[in-house]
Amino acid sequence: MALQLGDTAPDFEAETTEGKIRFHQWLGRSWGVLFSHPKDYTPVCTTELGYTAKLKPEFDRRGVKAIGLSVDPLADHVGWSRDIEETQGCKVNFPMIADPERKVASLYGMIHPNASDTLTVRSVYLIDPDKKIRLTITYPASTGRNFDEILRVIDSLQLTDRHKLATPVNWKPGEDAIIVPSVSDDEASKLFPQGFKKLKPYLRYTSVPR
């Protein structure tokens, strides 16, 4: 069965561009973004990896480690990294897993045989410090992912973990959040002394505590 939200992210050992890793040990207490791409030396993937490298300060600020994967061998990852740096203006600064035997791809269900029985699709797994899967996204091979959206979800999840708040449609950091329904108005007054706006008993907005 496919991995679902709340499942423990499977552990594995793999060869990467930064040496052999055991995944859980490599993650430590960080959050992780594990993402697969269909193939090395392909145009859409080249742009995605370059952009992810540029986001490193944003990932670091949120305590997140990024790690890529494709079913191509290590030598291809190394050669292609040079092209990524040349064309995208940023050195790849995170490990890329070489998974030619498709061990990790199979463990995570990154091969969708009715799309392609050899290539990995564009999967994203966001993993929290307890190794639980908190987000899964699957994109088709021809569509580059929106990594800004992945950052936005990280911000939302980290906010939800700290406060009894959820985030509304198209929420961005700095905007008001929603008080979760399990919190009574009395409790909300204590938790959010800045006050809240009640549009309906179940729809209450408040500013995000700092």
Count the site residues for ligand BEZ by CB under 6 A. Answer: 8
**45 binds ligand BEZ, rule: CB under 6 A:** yes
Q: Locate tokens 């307890």: which residue?
A: 130
42 Cβ contact list (under 8 Å, min separation 6): none
Active-site residue numbers?
A: 45
**138 binds ligand BEZ, rule: CB under 6 A:** no
Q: Closer to ligand BEZ at the Cβ: 41 or 202?
A: 41
Provide the mask over 12-41, with x wherever binding to ligand BEZ is found by CB under 6 A and - wherever it is not.
--------------------------xx--
**43 binds ligand BEZ, rule: CB under 6 A:** yes
The one among 3, 21, 44, 178 contacting ligand BEZ by CB under 6 A: 44
Q: Closer to ligand BEZ at the Cβ: 28 or 73?
A: 73
The one among 4, 142, 170, 182 contacting ligand BEZ by CB under 6 A: 142
**42 binds ligand BEZ, rule: CB under 6 A:** yes
**201 binds ligand BEZ, rule: CB under 6 A:** no
DSSP string, the chain: ----TTSBPPP-EEEETTEEEEHHHHHTTSEEEEEE-S-SS-HHHHHHHHHHHHTHHHHHHTTEEEEEEESS-HHHHHHHHHHHHHHHSS---S-EEE-TT-HHHHHHT---TTT-SSS--EEEEEE-TTSBEEEEEEE-TTS---HHHHHHHHHHHHHHHHSSEE--TT--TTS-EEE-TTS-HHHHHHH-TT--EEEETTEEEEPPP-
Side-chain half-sphere exposure of 161, counting CA atoms within 13 A:
13
Q: Closer to ligand BEZ at the Cβ: 145 or 204?
A: 145
Q: Which stretch binds ligand BEZ (CB under 6 A): 24-32, 43-51, 148-156, 166-174?
A: 43-51
Q: Closer to ligand BEZ at the Cβ: 14 or 71?
A: 71
Which residues are at the interface with ligand BEZ (CB under 6 A)? 38-39, 42-45, 141-142
